[in-house]
Amino acid sequence: MANTKANKKVDHSMPRPASFIPSNGPAIGLPSPLGTVMSGQKSGSRRKKSMDTPLLLTALVDAFSILVIFLLVQMGSGQNFFEANDSIKLPQASSVDVASPSDKGARIANLVVTERGYILDEEVLNLRDVGARLKAMGSTAENPVRLVIQADQASNFDLMSPLLSLTAEVGISKLEFAVEEAERAM
Amino acid sequence: MVSAGGKKDKRDLDFDLNLIPAIDLLSVCISFLLLTAVWVNLGSVKLNQAVGETNAAGGVNPPSLWIEVARTGSLTLSTRDLPNGTRGIEGSVLTASRDGKIDRKKLDQAIEMIQQRIPSVETVIVRPQSRVPYGEVIAVIDSLKAAKVKDVGIAPES
């Protein structure tokens, strides 16, 4: 029966679908010249092979689900507690300190040290104003302030020296230097 | 299809689950999560500030290791306030690597050696000289943190 079908001559009078898959069904358009070549049909002697490849949607859904779960888990664990300034490149460090219980609820003062001045909570200030602001924050044991200092890795440490003296004056002895977490090369 | 009794055709219970909307939904989820994902993890290195070299309260300073960071990338290690009879280090210099940066390998070995020889040293003060790149100071602090040094402090050059 299959041979009969394969040997059946193609009726060229009927318009045929313009696809790569030869078909004997209802025809639209002209027959594709590649149809015979791709299906491996040789002068109608061999059985026609179907070029239809079923798309495994179940595997695709599985892969997508795994990707979504991975991204959700990563999203939950990778929240930064401060926002990095785009204009600077933070230094990299592998031994990053984790937040202690006393850090929870503490106010975060984000201080960016640049060549043109100090940016405290997105406001450009001079050193004296930074001192006044930090003093006004009033870091106490009950109401601690976490001072997170950001600076470019190539910047001069001399920019930091007056700031460190200033923080000591206003009573902030614990400092946090912002870094980019990195794997350490062994 | 004929049923076992042969009286009635069994109703076909197979149905096609339309997976296309599920794929669409998952694609949207993936796109959203990729756009909002945090690719650079930021953290902080906590330090205590050490101002001055003497204890203002007049008490006894704990045994400490002072690391001076030079602009050239070399490090000078000295111990201070060690208990009587303990042999310390005085001005031991670790030269910079070929690229003029701090030699992390040498520093790690030196810290390990000091921790073994003088276990009472639990405080390390980093003292950068003028015009030292900030990244190099953080590299020294990172090595100390990796070596599980209890107290790491910073003392800017006055």
Tell me: the pLDDT tens digits for A115-128? Answer: 888 888 788 888 88
Query: Can you give the pLDDT at residue A10?
Result: 52
Contact A97 B38 (CB under 8 A): no
Q: Return the number of other C-beta atoms located less than 10 Å from residue B121's C-beta.
A: 23
Q: Do A153 and B131 touch (CB under 8 A)?
A: no
Q: Does B57 touch chain A (CB under 8 A)?
A: no
CB A16 within 8 A of CB A31: yes
Distance from B130 to chain A by nearest Cα, in Å? 6
* Residues pairing with B80 in the sheet: B64
Model-level ipTM above the cut of 0.90: no
pTM above 0.90, yes or no: no
Determine, for residues A176 and B45 on separate chains, whether the beta-carbon distance falls below 8 Å.
yes
Is B139 within 8 Å of chain A by CB?
yes
Q: Whole-angstrom Cα distance, residue B69 to residue B144?
A: 13
Q: Rounded to an integer, what distance in angstroms lies between the CA atom of residue A39 and that of residue A19?
A: 12
pLDDT tens-digit readout, A2-27: 444 444 555 555 554 444 444 454 44
Name beta bridge partners: B123: B64, B151
pLDDT value of position A38: 47
Q: What is the mean pLDDT of residues B37-61?
A: 68
Mutate to test the interface with A, among B42, B71, B145 (most CBs of A within 10 A): B42
Contact at CB, A154 and B132, closer than 8 angstroms: no
B18 close contact with A: CB closer than 8 A = no
Rounded to whole angstroms, how far apart are CA atoms B102 and B157? Answer: 19
Tokens of B101: 């940066």
**Distance between A145 CA and the closest CA of chain B, angstroms:** 13
Q: What is the pLDDT of residues A144-177, one digit of tens each?
A: 778 889 999 888 888 888 888 888 888 777 788 9
Minimal Cα–Cα distance from A181 to chain B, Å?
A: 5
Q: Is B145 on the interface with A (CB under 8 A)?
A: yes
Chain B residues inside the 8 Å CB shell of A155: 133-134
User: What is the least distance, in Å, from the CA of B145 to any CA of chain A?
Assistant: 6
Report chain B's terminal Cα–Cα distance, integer Å: 95
User: What is the per-residue pLDDT for B38?
Assistant: 72
Give the residue, B12 or B110, on which the prediction is more confident.
Answer: B110
Length reported for chain B:
158
Distance between CA A57 and CA B19 in Å, rounded? 7
| Cβ neighbours of A60 in B, within 8 Å | 19, 23
